[in-house]
Structure formats: structure tokens, C-alpha cells
Structure 1
Amino acid sequence: MKGSSHLSIGIAVGAIAGYSTQPDLTTLLICAGIGGISGVAPDLDTNGLASNSITLSKKVSKVLMETAGFVILLTLIYQVMTEGMSQDIYIYGAIGLALLIVSRLITQRRMLTITGILVLLLGFVLDESIGIILAGSYIVFASFLPHRSYTHSLLGVAFYALILKYLYMEWPIEGMMAAGLAGYISHLVADMKVLPVNRRGVKWFAPLWKKEF
């Protein structure tokens, strides 16, 4: 199923879950957003709507890395010509070369990994926010997983529930847990083989049982 379909379903079930918790328009709108985000979260394990929406642009990052690498190396060359060699030159030279090499080798998936690491760091900066740290960890893990594996299982649901629990403890938004879980689970249900649009199913019990449903 397409990411846009998961987004729409997530918004709908999130709105319903939120409204059933607190029947007012503000809660409905907020929970619709939470449900939509949660509805595409499992697909962070592949290049699609979810990962492309939050991932740093590969093209922009490549240009920035190449520019920084060239600037560092040109600065070092100028320093050698004017002031001579020093120990720092080797360190900064290695950094400049590393930036140039990484800019050539990096893929969109690894950009997702970097995005997750940045979210992790943000969690530490924001008074060690456990919820944001867990969210960053989820993104990093998902960037290394094959599609429809652990993010599309009860293990993924449990991890996402833990993220929601800590986010709710830090920012108690009414209906957050219900909308988030409803959106996430809706993705897995929509990906099941019982629907004719899906050739593959969902491994609900991975890694213990890898049967697709």
C-alpha cells in the first residue's frame, strides 16, 4: 500500500481515537496529526513517504560536505605555504578528506541514519528527553532494517508504544497514546495479505515466527 494511503488511514483512525478520548475539536485535530505520523512510521525501513519526509536531503548534504571538505583543504594548503607544517594540519586534513570521501559514498538510507542520530542528540540537548531519544533510536534502527521486518511486527508496536509513553510523560497531550497506537497498528493491518492490493503480508510475530499474515 502507498505511503499516502497509510497517511490517510492513520489520520482517520487517529482522529477517531483522539475524539473518543476527549470529544473536542482541538483534540481531534492534534490526534489526527499524531495518527497520520504514526500511520507512516513503520515504513521508515524503506525509501518512501515517511523516510523521505524526515530525511536530510542527500543532494544538499553532499554539496555541504564537499564544500566544507574543499574549504578545509584549501585553508590548510594556504597555512602550509604561509606558516609551515604543524600537527593540527594532519588532523584537519584527515577531516577534510573524510568529508570528501563520505560525500561520494553516502546513500539516502545513511542520510536517514544521520537524521536519527541528530534526533538522538536533540533528545540529550532537551534535558535528556527519553521520548525523543527513543524516537531517534527507532529511526536509526529502522534505517538498517529490511522492509516489512521488525517495524512491521508486534515488537515494533511495543517499541513505538514505549516512545509514546515517554513522550506523553513529557508532553501530556490528551489522546496521544490512543491516536499513536491506532495509527501505527492501522499500517500493519493495511499491509496484511488479506487485502488483495498486498502481495506480501506482515510478520506480526517476528523474530519468533516469520510467517506472513
Structure 2
Amino acid sequence: MKGSSHALIGVGAGAIAGLQIESDVMTVSVCSAIGAISALVPDLDTNGLARNGITLSKQVAKWLMHAIGTLLFIAITYRFFQTGMTPDILLYGGIAVLLFVVSRFLKQKWMLTMTGLLVMLVGFVLHQSIGIMLAGSYMIIASFLPHRSYTHSLVGLAFFAFVLHHLHEQWPIDGMLAAGIAGYASHLIADMKLLPMNRRGVKWFAPLWNKEF
């Protein structure tokens, strides 16, 4: 099923969840958006349709690495003429060299992992936000998983609910948890083999039971 179809189903699931919480337009609209986003999350795994949608392109990542590395070289050169060789200059010079080296071997398939690491770093900087750091860890784990494996199971749903719980503690948006779970679950239901458009099913109970439904 296409990502747009999953998002549309997620909108409906999120709206229904929002209506159970509060019937005002704002709550239902926010829950619809949360449902749509959550419905795309399971496809962050390898070869998933949503994988490249949230990641930087390899070209942009390379440009950023080169830009940061160049700025570091300029800064440490200026510092060297002021203070001479210091441990800080060696450290930041090593980081700059590492950025240039890594950029030469960068591949698009690694970009979701790097995005997840960046999200975790943002979570740490923003008052050590557990929810944001957990969201980053989800991306990192998903980047190594085969398509329609654990992100398409009750394990993935439970982990996503855990992420939402912590995000809700920091940003208590009405209906966030219910709409997010409903949106994520809607993806798993829409991918079931019981529906005629799906050749493959979903391993709801992986890793305990690998039967496709």
C-alpha cells in the first residue's frame, strides 16, 4: 500500500481517537495529523516507503560535513597563530579530518541511522528530553530492520506507544497517545494479508510467532 493511502487511513484513525477525547475541531484536527504521521512510522524500516522521506539526502549530508570541517580548519588555524599547538587544536583538527573522511564513504542507506543519532542529540540538548531521544532510538533501530519485520508487529507498536508516552509527558497534547497508537495500528491492519491488495501480510506477534496475518 502506498504511503499516501496509509496517511489517509491514519487521518481517519486519529480523528476517531480525537473524537473519543474531545469533540472540538482543534483537538480532532491535531489528532488527525498525529494519526497520519504515526501511520507512516512503521515504514521507516529498510526499504520502507517513509524511510527516505524524513532523512537528509546524501548530497546534503556531505555538504554539511564539508562545511563544518572547513569551518573547523579555519577556526583552529586562527587559534594556532594565537596560542600555538594545544590539545584542543589537535582534537578539533581530528574531528575535521574525520568529517572529510566519513563524507567520502557516506551512503544513502546510512542516512536514517544518522538522522536518528541527530534526533537523539537534539533530545539531549533540549533538557535531555527522553521522548525525543527515544524517537531517535526508534529511527536507529528501524534503519537496521528488514521491511515488515518488528516495526510491523506488536513489539513495534508497544515501543512507539512508549515513545509517545514520554513525548506526552513533556508536551501534554490532548489525544496524542490515543491518536498515535490508532494511526500506527491502522498501518498494521492495512498491511494485513487478509486484504486483497496485499501479497504479504504482517507478523503481528514477531519474534515469538512469525506467522503472517
Report the TM-score, using the length of structure 2 for normalisation: 0.86
CA drift at 1:177: 1.3
CA drift at 1:14: 0.5
- The answer to whether 1:113 aligns with 2:79 is no
Match of 2:186 in 1: 186
CA drift at 1:53: 2.8
Task: Please state whether the residue corresponding to 2:200 is helix, strand or coil.
Answer: coil
CA drift at 1:79: 10
C-alpha change, 1:161 and 1:79, in structure 2 (3 Å) is closer
| Equivalent pair of 2:38/2:183 in contact (CA under 8 Å) | yes
Match of 2:57 in 1: 57
CA drift at 1:145: 1.0
How far apart in 2 are the matches of 1:68 and 1:131?
28
Match of 2:5 in 1: 5
| Equivalent pair of 2:13/2:183 in contact (CA under 8 Å) | yes
Match of 1:102 in 2: 102
Equivalent AA in structure 2 for residue 95 of structure 1: I
How far apart in 1 are the matches of 2:11 and 2:101?
41
| Equivalent pair of 2:113/2:140 in contact (CA under 8 Å) | yes
| Equivalent pair of 1:58/1:107 in contact (CA under 8 Å) | yes
- Give the stretch that moved more between structures: 56-65 or 135-144: 56-65
| Unmatched segments (≥5 aa) in structure 1 | none
Deviations 1:72-120 (A, max 9, x none): 668989999xx99887776555434422232122222321111111211
| Equivalent pair of 1:7/1:37 in contact (CA under 8 Å) | yes
RMSD: 2.7
How far apart in 2 are the matches of 1:114 and 1:35?
25
How far apart in 2 are the matches of 1:180 and 1:40?
11
Equivalent AA in structure 1 for residue 30 of structure 2: I
Match of 1:151 in 2: 151
Match of 2:175 in 1: 175
C-alpha change, 1:125 and 1:95, in structure 2 (3 Å) is closer
Equivalent AA in structure 2 for residue 157 of structure 1: L
CA drift at 1:38: 0.4
Structure 2 matches for 1:1-213, cutoff 5 A? 1-69=1-69, 91=91, 94-213=94-213
C-alpha change, 1:86 and 1:121, in structure 2 (3 Å) is closer
CA drift at 1:47: 4.6
C-alpha change, 1:146 and 1:84, in structure 2 (3 Å) is same
| Equivalent pair of 2:46/2:144 in contact (CA under 8 Å) | no
C-alpha change, 1:122 and 1:69, in structure 2 (3 Å) is closer
Equivalent AA in structure 1 for residue 4 of structure 2: S
Equivalent AA in structure 1 for residue 60 of structure 2: V
Report the TM-score, using the length of structure 1 for normalisation: 0.86
How far apart in 2 are the matches of 1:173 and 1:84?
53
Equivalent AA in structure 2 for residue 12 of structure 1: G
| Unmatched segments (≥5 aa) in structure 2 | none
How far apart in 2 are the matches of 1:38 and 1:84?
53
How far apart in 1 are the matches of 2:87 and 2:16?
63
